[in-house]
Amino acid sequence: MAFLQLERLGKRYGAIDAVVATGLAVDKGEFVSLLGPSGCGKTTTLQMIAGFVEVSSGRILLDGRDITHAKPASRGLGVVFQSYALFPHMTVADNVAFGLRMRKVSAADIQQRVARVLKLVRLDMHATRYPRELSGGQRQRVALARALVIEPPVLLLDEPLSNLDANLREEMQFEIRRIQREVGITTLMVTHDQAEALSISDRVVVMQAGRITQIDAPYDLYEHPRTEFISGFVGKANLLQGDHDSDGRAQVRQSSGTGALTLSLRPEKIDLVPAGEGRLQGKVLTRYFLGSQWLYRIDTLIGEVTVVRRNNGDAPLAEGIAVGLDWPAELLRVLASDEARP
């Protein structure tokens, strides 16, 4: 049996279904991300697990115990909020110790546990500082330490990196994963950032309009998206019209118009070859330098196609030049409709 289990969990606000019959099983020690756009229900789901939002239907089980209607404090879960919610008048050590003091833990035990968790998050040298004296990444680690020091069975992270700049955000996502693995704690994270979810999760749960549409390991989710929405939301994708060939395999339709299939082809899977070669002919409309990559927009008979190629140091293709496009046929993905599954 899963360590954390959601059974047809739902939340309704009047006539609006924020979360619909959500089922999810999380194993002990697993890192799972809830991924989706604003308003998809991911934060509401996390808040129901934490006990901050009342459940309308379904059940939440933690290690076999029904906590659906338990008070937040009795669940004993660790929560890191988007804003970190640190006490500005308290030192780092006092912020981390706060939850233990509320639980009437002895002073000696508090001192030992706070010292241990501050070392874990690499803030042991900053115990006497105040939040205003810390960087954004350091404040984020204080919030994480405060959640971990109570030794919760599950760690809930609500957009924990959204207030950080791009470089620090990438650094901290790997730091969170390091800490999670070292502690071995079951973790559920909410994010709208697909790169964040793919890079550090064991599994990713994609939500759309209050429903789960796909649950998979990051690589499988990226390589085998089920729907048009997932294909475009999780990474970049070319959505192409297609048909079955004489052997029943999917192929791109070579003229404009609607095909029997909707196909997804990732931009980095496409090779640019000399004009007259490849599966499709086109002309470079524009190019964008992304540092490690070049992104090309190619005008073709079937519409505009995006291609991403590695920056290997060679001069990029000029705008206006004719090119051929080629790809391995097995990398075309047939997509289902965008209806979220019940």
Of 195, 230, 265, the residue that ends a domain is 230
User: What total number of domains does the chain contain?
Assistant: 2
User: Is 104 in the same domain as 247?
Assistant: no
User: Is 133 in the same domain as 263?
Assistant: no
User: 202 lies in a domain?
Assistant: yes
- pLDDT per residue over 193-218, tens digit each? 999 999 999 999 999 999 999 999 99
User: Is 19 in the same domain as 110?
Assistant: yes
User: Is 28 in the same domain as 73?
Assistant: yes
User: Is 267 in the same domain as 320?
Assistant: yes
Of 212, 230, 248, the residue that ends a domain is 230
pLDDT in the model for residue 54: 95
User: Is 190 in the same domain as 74?
Assistant: yes
Measure CA of the first residue to CA of the last residue in the chain; give whole Å: 22
User: Is 163 in the same domain as 60?
Assistant: yes
User: 289 lies in a domain?
Assistant: yes
User: 342 lies in a domain?
Assistant: no
User: 340 lies in a domain?
Assistant: no
- C-beta of residue 37 within 8 angstroms of C-beta of residue 233: yes
Of 187, 208, 230, the residue that ends a domain is 230
- If DSSP codes are grouped into helix, strand and coil, which group holds residue 324? strand
User: Is 303 in the same domain as 199?
Assistant: no
pLDDT in the model for residue 338: 63
| CATH number of the domain within which 207 lies | 3.40.50.300
Rounded distance between C-alpha atoms, residue 13 and residue 16, angstroms: 5
| CATH number of the domain within which 271 lies | 2.40.50.140
User: Is 223 in the same domain as 240?
Assistant: no
- C-beta of residue 113 within 8 angstroms of C-beta of residue 145: no
User: 303 lies in a domain?
Assistant: yes
Radius of gyration of the chain from its Cα atoms, rounded to whole angstroms: 24
How deeply is 165 buried, as exposed, middle or buried, from its count of CB atoms within 10 A (0-12, 13-18, 19+)?
exposed
- If DSSP codes are grouped into helix, strand and coil, which group holds residue 262? strand
- C-beta of residue 275 within 8 angstroms of C-beta of residue 281: yes
- If DSSP codes are grouped into helix, strand and coil, which group holds residue 224? coil
Q: What does each of the 342 residues of the chain score in pLDDT, given as a tens digit?
A: 789 999 999 999 999 999 999 999 999 999 999 999 999 999 999 999 999 999 999 999 999 999 999 999 899 999 998 887 889 999 999 999 998 998 999 999 999 999 999 999 999 999 999 999 998 889 989 999 999 999 999 999 999 888 888 888 888 899 999 999 999 999 999 999 999 999 999 999 999 999 999 999 999 999 999 999 999 899 899 999 988 877 778 888 877 777 788 999 999 999 999 999 999 999 999 999 999 999 999 999 999 999 999 999 989 999 999 999 999 999 999 998 665 443
User: 13 lies in a domain?
Assistant: yes
User: Is 117 in the same domain as 221?
Assistant: yes
User: Is 208 in the same domain as 262?
Assistant: no
Q: At residue 215, what is the residue type?
A: I
CA distances from 46 to 154, 187, 213 (A): 11, 11, 17
User: 41 lies in a domain?
Assistant: yes
DSSP class of 127: T
User: Is 218 in the same domain as 281?
Assistant: no
pTM of this structure: 0.89
Parent domain of 27: 4-230
User: 341 lies in a domain?
Assistant: no
